[in-house]
């Protein structure tokens, strides 16, 4: 089953299909085997393969995600490729990122040189420091 978005309806609230192609439109929730978005967006995408070019999404949960000149708040993928894109939180096993900005990266293998604000090591250090600080403050101010 294929679902090509009707140009007369630029936004679909919920789309469920094997293949979803969106061009210059959007969707609230997408649940599909293969998703391709060109100059459009989605709130949530759950798929085996998601490809977004010049668009965006809030949450992408996919086996393989490709973000090209696009943005996403959260990407959770086994294999993620980000090319000239921006991602707030990226979680994945294999990540390839070029000319991209990533807020928080939690991943296994990282290829390319993305601009990362916080990686797993920095997050662990910040978390451990916060726990130790709270423990000390609790001991000091405990009645």
Residue-level pLDDT at 1: 42
Residue-level pLDDT at 51: 97
Please state, in angstroms and rounded to a whole number, the distance separating the CA atoms of residues 79 and 93: 6
* pLDDT 10s digits, 74-129: 999 999 999 999 999 999 999 999 999 998 888 888 898 888 887 777 777 877 88
Residue-level pLDDT at 12: 77
> Region 14-36: what's the mean pLDDT?
92
pTM of the model: 0.78
> Region 1-24: what's the mean pLDDT?
73
Give the distance, in angstroms, between the CA of residue 97 and the centroid of all CA atoms in the same chain: 12
> Region 10-31: what's the mean pLDDT?
88
Please state, in angstroms and rounded to a whole number, the distance separating the CA atoms of residues 44 and 55: 13
Residue-level pLDDT at 119: 73
Residue 118 near residue 131, CB atoms below 8 Å: no
pLDDT of 6 above 80: no
Q: Please, which pLDDT band fits residue 2 given cuts at 50, 70 and 90?
A: very low
Count helices and strands in the chain by DSSP H and E runs: 1, 9
Average pLDDT score, the chain? 87
- Which structure tokens are listed for 2? 């294929």
């Amino acid at each position: 089953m294929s679902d090509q978005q009707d140009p007369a309806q630029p936004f679909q609230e919920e789309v469920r299909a094997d293949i979803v192609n969106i061009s210059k439109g959007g969707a609230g929730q997408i649940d599909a085997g293969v998703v391709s978005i060109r100059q459009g967006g989605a709130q949530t995408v759950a798929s085996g393969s998601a490809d977004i070019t010049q668009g965006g999404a809030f949450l992408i949960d996919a086996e393989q995600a490709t973000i090209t000149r696009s943005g996403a708040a959260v990407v959770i993928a086994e294999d993620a490729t980000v090319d000239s894109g921006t991602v707030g939180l990226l979680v994945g096993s294999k990540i390839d990122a070029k000319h991209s900005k990533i807020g928080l990266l939690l991943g296994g293998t990282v290829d390319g040189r993305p601009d990362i604000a916080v990686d797993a090591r920095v997050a662990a250090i910040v978390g451990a420091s916060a726990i130790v600080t709270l423990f000390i403050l609790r001991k000091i101010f405990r009645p």
